[in-house]
Structure 1
């Protein structure tokens, strides 16, 4: 994931920024200098002078799953680094925080299709999330997931019930068919995993 960053650098008027490279970073730990894990912009930021003591800059940080452990999911700190032509460095810590979460995926399938009004619909699905260490998606069990319905011709989903995903992330429940519309599952996310809603599955009620 490429994260675009804008930042401001302030400096003494006696210091020229022409010989200094700056860049933003994300880190876990007590400081950027001794981080448990860290991502920094591959290229120095592009800066524009505001006045004799201020420049506005922009850069991109590339965050790669291959460099993450699952335990890295959570809140990361923001920081910055400046390097002069002599190799001297200036670190900035605790400039803010940002969530780094494991991506979740969710599916939904309502059957039978079509269905007679008043009959039972079974809605199945699965909640998975990225396993950074395995490089794949795995079932996310024990999570509260909402079953939602959007009536045909409307734009808003309404929650019908909340169920819990199985140990493998599987979801299954039943509802009574009332009118044409879309059924989906929706997951609110956690501090370590992103929120996600499945694509709505349209059911024709006859």
Structure 2
């Protein structure tokens, strides 16, 4: 499935005021050279996504086309640009080279929507709250294995908020009710049915 973009072509009869506009298929391309606006857009895009001029010099008078990220970092630390930091164009240039290529992948599949999710402070656990009265705690370090499956009590429509304690032993969750629940997620069992209500 492909999408193509075509440039708006002004025909002479449109400029003369005629109402009939000829249809141009999206696969046709103009043979006319790029106009000034196209050059300006290309130049602005190049300026906003390319490295700073002083960060891309190889030697006096020569400019490197593909600047390595390591060289850019070294030149930033050496304050070659005079600002001591990357410009937004420098950031764009560096980040455009490191796009994720592996993923996303399926971690788990539930029969209801996930409404809240968060990582623990150290990133080792991931908590997801679902509309169908389930909260799952995944152990990121062990290949996203389900560490705890919590069946929510007194649920009204969905889980609205979750929060892990600093020691990652307890999870607090709430729904659209005046009750807050605390669950021990540090225990060895995977299933948790005995929620402590506060």
What TM-score, normalized by structure 2, do the two folds share? Answer: 0.21
Higher relative contact order (CA 8 A, sep 6+): 1
Which structure is higher in strand share?
A: 1
Which structure is higher in helix share?
A: 2
